[in-house]
Every structure is written in C-alpha cells, then in structure tokens.
C-alpha cells in the first residue's frame, strides 16, 4: 500500500513557489520542464509524467523537493531539484531557510 501522506523528513521545511523562484534564479524558467519530466512508478512512464497538487520542501542538503501526485494515475510522485551542488544556489537556499525559521519564531512569540 502506498502511503499518500508523506511525512516530513528531519531538517525539511515547507517552502513556497516564490522561494523556489528565489533559489533557482535564472533556472526558474526550466521549472515547467522539470515538473513535466516526472517518473511515476505506477505508470512506469519513463519520466514523461507531470506532477500536480504538489507541496514544496527544502531538505537539509538544500535540495528542493516537489511532492505531489501524478496527473495520470493520481499516485504520489516526487521530483528532486538539486541546488546543493551550486554554491550560490545553496547559499540562497540556506538564506531562505533562515528567514523561514525566524518567521516561525516571530509567530510563536505572538
């Protein structure tokens, strides 16, 4: 059985598409292509799948993970976008993480 609710991994934070745009910079224009080249283990579609209804996470390696469902079969699929390898992108990713953490702290104080 496939567990549809993916548990957040340690060190992961949820981010939004605006954060992805900041982290990816110029590569953001390729995002559509990346999200339309998703492998679904159910459809066995050789990376022709599309991901929809996704949530976005930043993992502790500063890679971006889109977790959503396959448009064809609605099973859960995930797409990793590595940013940890590029120094500038990784720095931005860390910056976004810091901002998110501060934001959380501010919310808690209220």
- Interface contacts to Zn ion, rule CB under 5 A: 40, 42-43, 70, 72-73
Contact 26, 54 (CB under 8 A): no
CB-count burial class (<10 Å; 0-12, 13-18, 19+) for 68: buried
Closer residue to Zn ion, CB minimum distance, 3 or 105: 3
Which residue's CB is nearer to Zn ion, number 44 or number 107?
44
DSSP 55-82: EEEE-TTS-EEEEEEETTT--EEEEEE-
Phi, psi at 57, each rounded to 5°: -125, 155
Closest CB 90 distance from Zn ion, rounded Å: 31
Of 46 and 105, which CB lies nearer to Zn ion in the complex structure? Answer: 46
CB of 4 to Zn ion, least distance (A): 13
Shortest separation between residue 50's beta carbon and Zn ion, angstroms: 9
């Amino acid at each position: 059985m496939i567990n549809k609710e993916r548990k957040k991994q340690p060190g992961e934070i949820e981010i939004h598409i605006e954060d992805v745009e900041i982290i990816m910079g110029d590569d953001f224009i390729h995002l559509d292509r990346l999200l339309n080249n998703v492998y679904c283990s159910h459809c066995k579609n050789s990376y022709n799948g599309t991901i929809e209804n996704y949530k976005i996470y930043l993992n502790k390696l500063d890679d971006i993970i889109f977790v959503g469902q396959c448009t064809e079969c609605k099973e859960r699929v995930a797409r990793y976008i590595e940013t940890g390898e590029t120094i500038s992108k990784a720095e931005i990713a860390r910056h976004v993480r810091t901002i998110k953490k501060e934001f959380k702290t501010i919310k808690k104080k209220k």
